[in-house]
Structure 1
Amino acid sequence: MMYYEVLERRKINDIYEINIANFKAKPKAGQFVSLIIPNETEVPLGVGDYDENSSILKLYIESENVIKKIGKRVIIKGPLGRPLDFTGVKSVLGVSNKKLFHDISYPLKIASKNGIKVSTILIEYGQEMDKFEADMIIVSLPLNEIKKYNFPERKTFIYNRWVKMNCMLGVCGICEIKGKLACIQGPFMRLDEIVD
């Protein structure tokens, strides 16, 4: 946990992008960080992007209230959570909508860098889809949307957006889903382990 300089912040549609300088702890695909605003809040955020050469971490924040509290420096804890395991994976499909694509963009980038064939589907609200094919499918959609689609359960990993995380270390247990802790075993968790 350290203080980091905020290099840039900008609004892109309804989401804020911030760039964090000198972030040396390279995140793995599927991990997250915790943005801490002292005496205010702690927010789990998926890694939007990371540049190894410049050590710049890119994060996306949806809350205007949180962005208003961010000064020139922030505290970041992480990377946290379990990375996605691409061992033996030859193809990855990313499924999201335009607003949540930032949740899956970094894992897709890492998969591509590892020589894995990557494809994406951007779903519009209510769009019909019945077939999703790849060795691994990573998804970021609202829970009610996830349940509408017939994702293959054992090879689909869902980014947990609907679970409150508190300590981010597995101590408090508030992020428990069906016996699993999203902050430790996520934020990407296998569909059959978390959604009924």
Structure 2
Amino acid sequence: MLTMCDLQSEPCLFASTIFENIAYGREAATEAEVVEVATLANAHKFILALPDGYRTWLGERGVQLSGEQRQRVAVARALVKKAPILLLDEATSALDAESERSVQDALERSGTERTTIVGAHRLASVRNAHVIAVIDDEKVVEQGTHSHLLKHHPDGSYARMLQLQRFANGAATANGASSLGPSTSAREATR
């Protein structure tokens, strides 16, 4: 049994069908399972709109997916593997805030029986974590839930990063752009 699955910011999709891309790593996945995880990953609707649905060929001689669509297929692939540990390394950094929330919702709906470890600069990605570990200069400098960190470390690294991101997002919204925030990272582990 696969014990860990990772999902990165630049998912690798193969020159094959969407079905095969989702089932990759668990070739025994049934059509029902693939559709279920694609639905959880909010990919089912866009897949059905493609010329051949789940049998649509991807790659150089096939359909080219947007970054958001690629990420959703990768999330579905991670979910179909049913690994007890899921590692997300900046997995939603290329998505806009609404798409990121949608992917996070999918992971939360499917993740009650797995441990999820998230590496992220965008703190919205870790806000609902059971444990947030703030890493600075290769050391854990703060640890706790979102509310614990803000209450017990109001001038700490997490609070400062959150304030910077709120400011940057406010300025970015005024300029019609988005911000990924500062370079210090927050990591979470949930169960």
TM-score by length of 1: 0.27
If each structure's helix is expressed as a fraction of its own residues, which one has the higher value?
Answer: 2
Work out which structure has the larger RCO, using CA pairs closer than 8 Å and 6 or more positions apart in sequence. Answer: 2
TM-score by length of 2: 0.27
